[in-house]
Chain A
Amino acid sequence: MKSPVRLERRLEQPRQLSWIIPLVSLLGALVVGAVVLLATGKNPLDVYWRMLDRGFFSQRALTGTLRTATPLAFTGLCAAASFRLGVINIGGEGQLYVGAVGAALVGLWMGGSVPVGVTIIVMILAGMLFGAMYAAFVGVLRAQFNTSEIITSLMMNYLAGILLNYLIFNSSSYWRDPRSFGFPSGKPLDKRDYWPAFEFGGLSVPIGLLIAIAAAVVLWVVYKRSRLGFEISVIADSPRAARYVGIRTKMTIISVTALSGALAGAGGASQVGDFAHYLDAKGLQLNNFGYTGIVVAALARLSPLGAVLVAVLLGGLTNAGYSLQGPDFPSGLVGTLQGLILFCAVAGEILTKYRLRSNRAGQAVTA
């Protein structure tokens, strides 16, 4: 049995593919999504319009969108950083939790004793450190024993979730508010340590998002301009060439995994400092920021600046989902649409590597 078309390896990757393919993927997802909506008795145009409206078309909507986009930008950068090296760290979820634990620790400890600028820096650094160490464990196992980082980082997400539950619900830890008996919750930060947001005429931009943008720029520079970035690209392209020029591959794997974890950890710090202002064990686990970060990175095709952009896009989608949730806008729709976008992106990625060829005529039928 012969299929009418086959995939053929592309020799060249035309430059415009880098924006055509995500765009086509997005459109494809919207079309498939429309079919799903129609099949379940919804009007797709109406749904899409309302999502745009509630995600982007008012200052309030946009403020909410940026709020959701902030952690996604960090976890997206986390995934992009490691995927570039071919290390599939899907532990952004857990690294974000652990970063939040670290940031809450130093935040509570400082208790308003220093200027807020110092607090922000110290909390971010603590979040990064905790996230980095948590991720480095995965990196060491991969580098030393060649243990699949996919599964270990996944398992560690659950361990981090259990740690959060333990700290807030099942123990009287430093993080738990001693005054909360009936409904356990985290100890709040001193009001003076809340991270300020920047107001642009009604639009409030969390400082975490600005830090994420800065991190994206730094990451971009590291990839494009640093020796480390150069070595990463060589290892990713050909491990044998890396051996040939004497690059220390194991050390690079460990450092990049740690760097990736540090980015997710910074996202955790921002969750504590920007939004929750305490270690929110439930809220952190509710949103799957880490897993959605992988969607972000995949859609951005691992570009750091692209990841921030996609985070805002997906943040808008998610945020619209929250605010529209109700009888005629069921929960689950957002996840479904995100999944569809991701399918199309995955399928679209194939077209960067291969092109469809007709088996009969032997000529390319699509780009």
Chain B
Amino acid sequence: MNSNLVIIIAAQAIFYGTPLFFAALGGVFTERSGVLNLGVEGMMLVGGVSAAWASQHIGGTAWVTVLGSLLVAMFAAGLVAAVHAFLCVTLKANQTVAGLSITIFAGAVGLSSYLANVWHVAEQKVPRQLVKLDLFGLADAPIVGPLLFDHTVLTYVSWVLCAVSSWYLFRTKIGLQLRAVGESPQTADAIGINVVKYRYVHTILGGTLAGLGGAFYSLAIVPTWVDGMTKGAGWIAIALVIFGFWRPDLTLLGAYLFGALQALGIQLKTRDVSIPGDLLDALPFVMTIVVLVLVSTRFAHKRIGAPAALGVPYEREER
């Protein structure tokens, strides 16, 4: 393997890791508020199909179309997330069942596929794709060019978003209150923080980010609409949230690690190297299980910060 291949794989890792990061970052926000979202896959697919549809229907310059498509994707997925929030927060439903029903409803054999059919999305190409931007004309620079300056606009956005989210979660009052809601809604409620509002806002925010991730598939990776095109990326995103210890920065690294495994598999396949690609596919899941076991020990739990109230509906004590 020469250094050239390493750079190609690294650059592709960033490419494939970007949608994973968006979906996982959404998961970080949602889970930090104490809501478990197993509907990510469905939300991504709804985002993907809406983006593809919008890019076929919004006219104007390439920029307007792409931006419009992304907003439509965020809106549609956010709407699905609002249903999840209603079930989990207002109705205090079992969050696992609610999330799974979101994925069944919206997923590969559900609404996303239905909408693709009635909107005839799959029959046409996606006219305006998310293209790579040669930032500062440096894309051809050795090493740093492909790594840092030859990506789609969403990748650049994701870097900004990663920094902003870290700041939001750990350096602002709202972030502090959000984490308090996910850790101990009783405490938060007692000091006057509106638990319901925080959970709604961040569940919907998480949905919009999952929608962006889905749009990345239909506008950049594939780039056209295919039923079930995310192929389980939503589940990997859920794993990534744990893998990244509920922190945006580590989640970004994790997304690139998982993206690298994907890129490596593709490179090996095209080069006919006989390392079983399945092993690479399996690694993210195995690693997630190992990490999960490690963080569930009491010792690690307190240090790493799985939100203590994750998945638990909040009910005010009444006398």
Which residues of A are interface residues toward B (Cβ below 8 A)?
7, 40-41, 88, 90, 141, 145-148, 150-152, 154-156, 158-159, 162-163, 165-166, 170-171, 288, 291-292, 294-295, 298, 330-336, 338-340, 342-343, 346-347, 349-350, 354
Contact = CB atoms under 8 A, between A and B. Distances in A.
Nearest to A292: B104
Interface stretch (B7-15, B52-60, B114-122, B256-264): B114-122
Nearest to B297: A145
B111 interface: yes
Contact of B115 (A146, A294, A332): A332
Given A90-B96, A141-B293, A346-B93, A151 B278 contact: no
B289 A158 contact: no
A335 B110 contact: yes
28 contacts: A40-B114, A145-B293, A150-B311, A151-B242, A152-B292, A154-B38, A155-B286, A158-B232, A170-B277, A170-B278, A171-B276, A288-B108, A291-B103, A331-B113, A332-B111, A332-B114, A332-B115, A332-B116, A332-B117, A333-B114, A340-B105, A342-B100, A342-B101, A343-B83, A343-B87, A343-B101, A346-B93, A346-B94
Main secondary structure of the interface of A (DSSP, over half): helix
Given A162-B282, A332-B111, A170 B276 contact: yes
B94 A338 contact: no
Contacts of B296: 145-148
B282 A159 contact: yes
Contact of B117 (A163, A291, A292, A330): A330
Contacts, number: 148
Given A338-B110, A350-B92, A298 B278 contact: no
A330 B97 CA distance: 26
A295 B101 contact: yes
A346 B87 contact: yes
B238 interface: yes
B107 interface: yes
A284 to B, nearest CB: 15
B93 A349 contact: yes
Nearest to A151: B292
A347 B92 CA distance: 9
Contacts of B281: 162, 165
Main secondary structure of the interface of B (DSSP, over half): helix
Contacts of A350: 91-93
A332 B92 contact: no
A330 B119 CA distance: 11
A331 B286 contact: no
A339 B101 contact: yes
B187 to A, nearest CB: 22
Contact of B239 (A40, A151, A288, A336): A151
Contact of B105 (A40, A151, A163, A342): A342
B104 A342 contact: yes
Interface residues of B, number: 50
Interface string B282-318: 1001101100110011000000000000010000000
Given A159-B282, A346-B97, 9 more contacts: A40-B114, A150-B36, A154-B238, A155-B239, A166-B278, A335-B113, A339-B102, A343-B101, A346-B101
A41 B93 CA distance: 32
B102 A165 contact: no
B227 interface: yes
Nearest to A158: B285
B178 interface: no
A147 B147 CA distance: 37
A333 B227 CA distance: 13
A40 B118 contact: yes
Contacts of B100: 90, 291, 294-295, 342
B235 interface: yes
B109 A332 contact: yes
B96 A291 contact: no
Contacts of B286: 155, 159
A332 B105 contact: no
Contacts of A347: 87, 91, 93
B289 A332 contact: no
A346 B97 CA distance: 8
A155 B288 contact: yes
Interface of B: 36, 38, 83, 87, 91-94, 96-98, 100-118, 227, 232, 235, 238-239, 242, 276-278, 281-282, 285-286, 288-289, 292-293, 296-297, 311
Q: Which 4 A-B pairs have the closest CB atoms?
A: A339-B105, A332-B113, A335-B110, A330-B117
Contacts of A354: 92
Contact of A336 (B87, B98, B114, B282): B114
A331 B92 contact: no
Contacts of A294: 97, 100
Contacts of B116: 332
B278 A152 contact: no
Contacts of B238: 151, 154
Given A158-B285, A339-B101, A346-B97, A331 B109 contact: yes
A330 B114 contact: yes
Given A145-B297, A146-B296, A152 B289 contact: yes
Given A151-B292, A158-B232, A292-B104, A335 B276 contact: no
A145 B238 CA distance: 20
B188 to A, nearest CB: 18
B126 to A, nearest CB: 19
Contacts of B112: 332
Contacts of B108: 288, 335
Nearest to B281: A162
A336 B83 CA distance: 14
B96 A41 contact: no
B132 to A, nearest CB: 30
